[in-house]
């Protein structure tokens, strides 16, 4: 176990399609987080930006971009890129700086102005880029990738399109209560079933959109929090950013190669289970202690997979858990009380930070009519391309 760091402030720019630059969204979220923390920008010792990549260039080097937008004041700066795990790595970098004594207060910011439609690689030939290869060699767009996972669950566990639709129904009901969500309309299973097929068996309402948005956190040492008069802050207890382990015997796009297990033998669990396991071990808790979870629902079927990967249920039991109501508001462990990506869409560098914003508000009991009763412990989980794990555990 490592020492905790305090979450003094959380802020977001609403998700949507606003037609402006990502720096504007990030600066807006940062100002909201600073105001929430009661901390002045000049008192921030470091800023960590989660990069967005457009045309092969990483987001104007996001840390300095946001520092400039807020006004140069001499703070340390760092920028990280890990695709969808960028926000978690930014949080991990900020925490390391605080625990190392390099800064008492660190601002973490991520934002994106996503292109219209599904993500695609930048132009040009890049045969050493696994993401480019899966588009060019396999024609595996993101929806195709999600569809393959859904088919795998159907084949192995008997999941049905009706099960997948219920995930969207659940998340839309919670997203309708979130003022930062892009989609704030409840949908029913019939509407999901009537939406166009995108990648069989998944339909349009099974798959998340791409969005503009921003999120920010103000993290601080526990000593600074006490000096600042915050006696019982939300605390970051674990940040898992692990990579896969040899051998990898199940295809996990965009990595399209497998390793031989002949000389090593199979290991226990998959990459995604290792992400959660590392977080639990660092925090010194287990899944039975969770009050809620925010997971990466790129598709409805992938949310079900996270139930098992987080240890909320056994292998193949996710649909049963969903149907029991355990992951809905009022259930044993609500999942995606924010509404998830189903309600927000992807703003890639911001989304892992936004997940921790939601945990912060829930653990403070500040989530209004989507509040999880008695929330004390929360976990986030997502997965970035190229083997980037992402999980954060927050407690109060």
**pLDDT at residue 359 tops 60:** yes
How confident is the model over 163-175, as a mean pLDDT?
A: 98
How confident is the model over 239-246, as a mean pLDDT?
A: 91
**pLDDT at residue 57 tops 60:** no
**pLDDT at residue 1 tops 70:** no
Instruction: Encode 71-108 in three state secondary structure.
Output: CCCCCEEEEECECECHHHHHHHHHHHHHHCCCCCEEEE
Q: Could you give phi then psi for residue 73, rounded to 5 degrees?
A: -140, 10
Instruction: State which H helix or E strand residue 374 sits in.
Output: none
Q: Which of 100-104, 122-126, 307-311, 334-338 has the lowest mean pLDDT?
A: 122-126
More confident position, 160 or 129: 160
More confident position, 115 or 12: 12
pLDDT of residue 246: 83
Question: What is the three-class DSSP state of 149?
Answer: helix
Instruction: Fill in the DSSP letter of residue 237.
Output: E
How confident is the model over 174-178, as a mean pLDDT?
A: 97
How confident is the model over 75-86, as a mean pLDDT?
A: 93
For helices 22-37 and 62-70, give the axis angle rounded to 10 degrees. 60
Q: How far is CA 121 from the centre of its chain?
A: 21
pLDDT of residue 258: 73
Question: What's the rounded Cα separation, in Å, for the pair 352 and 2?
Answer: 21
pLDDT of residue 121: 72
pLDDT of residue 119: 76
What is the tens place of the pLDDT at every residue in 342-357? Answer: 999 999 999 999 999 9
> Residue 161: how many CB atoms within 10 A of its CB?
20
Burial of 287 (0-12, 13-18, 19+ CB in 10 A): middle
Question: What is the three-class DSSP state of 7?
Answer: strand
What is the tens place of the pLDDT at every residue in 291-302? Answer: 999 999 999 999
pTM, 2 dp: 0.95
Question: What's the rounded Cα separation, in Å, for the pair 159 and 170?
Answer: 17
pLDDT of residue 83: 87
pLDDT-based confidence at residue 73 (cuts at 50, 70, 90): very high
**pLDDT at residue 266 tops 60:** yes
pLDDT-based confidence at residue 59 (cuts at 50, 70, 90): low
pLDDT of residue 142: 87
pLDDT-based confidence at residue 268 (cuts at 50, 70, 90): confident
pLDDT of residue 56: 55
pLDDT-based confidence at residue 34 (cuts at 50, 70, 90): very high
pLDDT of residue 58: 58
What is the tens place of the pLDDT at every residue in 197-208? Answer: 999 999 999 999
- Asked if residues 144 and 199 have their Cβ atoms less than 8 Å apart, the reply is yes
Sheet strands side by side (includes 234-240): 76-80, 46-50, 105-113, 212-220, 5-16, 234-240, 388-395, 377-384, 292-295
Candidates 272, 287, 301; CA nearest to 378 is 287
- Asked if residues 387 and 271 have their Cβ atoms less than 8 Å apart, the reply is yes
pLDDT of residue 227: 95
Rg, Å, the chain Cα set: 20
Burial of 19 (0-12, 13-18, 19+ CB in 10 A): exposed
Question: What is the three-class DSSP state of 376?
Answer: coil
Q: What percent of the chain has pLDDT over 90?
A: 78
Mean per-residue pLDDT over the chain, rounded:
93
């Amino acid at each position: 176990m490592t020492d905790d760091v305090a979450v003094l402030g959380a802020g977001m720019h609403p998700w949507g399609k606003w037609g402006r630059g990502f720096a504007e969204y990030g600066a807006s979220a940062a100002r909201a987080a600073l105001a929430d923390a009661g901390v002045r920008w000049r008192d921030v010792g470091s800023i960590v930006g989660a990069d967005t990549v457009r045309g092969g260039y990483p987001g104007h080097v996001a840390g300095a971009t946001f520092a400039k937008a807020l006004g140069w004041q001499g703070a340390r700066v760092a920028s990280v890129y890990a695709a969808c795990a960028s926000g978690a790595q930014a949080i991990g970098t900020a925490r390391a700086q605080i625990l190392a004594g390099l800064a008492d207060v660190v601002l973490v910011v991520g934002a994106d102005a996503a292109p219209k439609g599904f993500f695609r690689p930048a132009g040009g030939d890049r045969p050493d880029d696994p993401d480019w290869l899966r588009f060019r060699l396999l024609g595996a767009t993101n929806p195709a990738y999600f569809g393959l996972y859904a088919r795998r669950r159907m084949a192995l566990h008997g999941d049905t399109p009706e099960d997948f639709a219920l995930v969207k129904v659940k998340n839309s009901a919670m997203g309708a209560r979130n003022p930062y969500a892009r989609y704030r309309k409840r949908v029913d299973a019939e509407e999901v079933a009537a939406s166009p097929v995108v990648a069989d068996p998944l339909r349009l309402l099974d798959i998340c959109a791409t969005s503009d948005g921003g999120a920010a956190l103000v993290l601080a040492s526990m000593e600074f929090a006490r000096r600042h008069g915050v006696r019982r802050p939300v605390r970051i207890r674990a940040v898992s950013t692990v990579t896969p382990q040899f051998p990898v015997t199940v295809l996990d796009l965009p990595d399209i190669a497998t390793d031989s297990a002949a000389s090593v033998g199979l290991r226990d669990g998959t990459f995604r289970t290792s992400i959660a396991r590392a977080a639990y071990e660092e925090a010194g808790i287990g899944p039975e202690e969770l009050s809620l979870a925010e997971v990466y629902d790129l598709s409805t079927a992938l949310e079900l997979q996270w139930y098992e990967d987080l240890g909320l249920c056994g292998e193949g039991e996710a649909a049963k858990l969903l149907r029991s109501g355990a992951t809905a508001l009022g259930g044993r462990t609500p999942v995606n009380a924010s509404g998830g990506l189903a309600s927000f869409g992807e703003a890639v560098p911001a989304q892992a930070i936004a997940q921790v914003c939601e945990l912060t508000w829930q653990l403070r009991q500040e989530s209004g009519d989507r509040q999880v009763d008695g929330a004390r412990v929360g976990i986030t989980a997502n997965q970035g391309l190229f083997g980037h794990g992402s999980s954060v555990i927050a407690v109060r």
